[in-house]
Copies of this chain bind each other. A is one copy, B any other.
Amino acid sequence: MARMTMIEAIRNAHDLAMERDKRVVVFGEDVGYFGGVFRCTAGLQKKYGPHRCFDAPINESGIVGAGIGMAAYGLKPVVEIQFADYMYPAYDQIVSEAARLRHRSAGDFTCSMVIRMPTGGGIFGGQTHSQSPEALFTHVSGLKVVMPANPRDAKGLLLAAIEDPDPVIFLEPKRLYNGPFDGHHDRPVVPWKNHELGDVSEDYYTVPLGKAEIARAGEAVTVLAYGTMVYVAQAAAEEAGVDAEIIDLRTLLPLDLDAIEQSVRKTGRCIVIHEATKTSGFGAELSALVQERCFYHLEAPIVRVTGWDTPYPHAQEWTYFPGPERIKQAFTQVLEG
């Protein structure tokens, strides 16, 4: 067991995967010699050579498209999109190709590939370094979508994603790279090395895709969250003194509906939180699913707390970000409702 930041955990997962399976190749912009702008691949080129870990031209469609070809050949590409905001040029390759290949060829060709991308805001990155595009992936049949909230899960989920025979979108909440951020941007962040969730086994292990985790047990209200929002919800629950059950979804697709249903049936109330813009965000799907499956257990309307339907602003970042105050309001609303 070692204390790792999320970055170190991700790097370690790459390392173990490359060590274990020669088919794993890693590439992306600035990923090779330099080791990635967030350093998630640092040291890999040196250890495994430039044919296993290398820089790519600045062309996201090319990165994913070449990855699909490699996966069709039988390798296991793990590619980095420098920021999730830059995945759009690759969207056609992801949606029309990676996601469809197995189905349209009836399994003649497959696409075992991981597409990693730092996601989310809270770093004064402005509208093109802050986005959370998960709903644009969950709508696409054929993709799995994962977002870890701590180093231990980041490593185990990434290894599971690399093992997975299908394309996996791996969203890394960059605000959590160095420590759990609870939304109080005016307070110092606890680094992972001082946090128990920074305890990561150095061995190879996987955290299964499709399984949520109860981040905080409670009886009064179910909170569905993922990534950074898990900690913001925790802070809000502590501060409001609400006995909230907070579920860290970890995998958005396939979704752990059992865990969700079980909790909502117990609490009768539900809050859905994400950083992405509200309309057609993944929270809409969660809300729809919960009301379809737990309608007769619901004692109040499900409340969504999300980013606003605006681009992610630079200076007004903390107005956009769904922080603890907004979640506390939602507690009031859903508990009184």
Contacts and interface: CB of A to CB of B under 8 A. Distances in A.
Interface of A: 61, 85, 88-89, 91-92, 95-96, 100, 103-104, 127-128, 135-136, 138-142, 253, 276-277, 279-285, 287-288, 291-292, 295, 298, 300-304, 309-311, 337
A90 to B, nearest CB: 9
Nearest to A287: B288
Contact of A295 (B85, B104, B139, B300): B300
29 contacts: A61-B89, A88-B96, A100-B311, A104-B127, A136-B136, A136-B139, A138-B279, A139-B279, A139-B281, A140-B277, A141-B277, A141-B309, A141-B310, A141-B311, A142-B311, A279-B285, A284-B284, A287-B288, A287-B291, A288-B288, A288-B302, A288-B304, A291-B291, A291-B301, A291-B302, A292-B302, A292-B303, A292-B304, A295-B301
A301 B292 contact: yes
Nearest to A288: B287
Contacts of A281: 139
Query: Number of copies of this chain in the oligomer?
Result: 2
Contacts of A128: 96
A145 B329 CA distance: 31
Nearest to A140: B277
Contacts of A284: 280, 284-285, 287-288
Contacts of A311: 100, 103-104, 141-142
Nearest to A90: B92
Given A88-B95, A91-B88, A103 B310 contact: yes
Please indicate which of the listed interface residues A277, A280, A295, A302 has the most CB atoms of chain B within 10 Å of its own CB. A280
A281 B301 CA distance: 21
Contacts of A292: 287, 301-304
B135 A280 contact: yes
A333 to B, nearest CB: 10
Given A136-B139, A304-B292, A96 B85 contact: yes
Contacts of A138: 279-280
Contacts of A136: 136, 139
B277 A139 contact: yes
A139 B310 CA distance: 10
A25 to B, nearest CB: 25
A137 to B, nearest CB: 8
A214 B127 CA distance: 38
Contact of A92 (B88, B142, B280): B88
Contacts of A285: 279-280, 284
Pick the 8 closest A-B CB pairs, nearest first. Answer: A88-B92, A139-B280, A287-B288, A295-B301, A284-B284, A284-B285, A284-B288, A138-B280
Contacts of A291: 287-288, 291, 301-302
A66 to B, nearest CB: 16
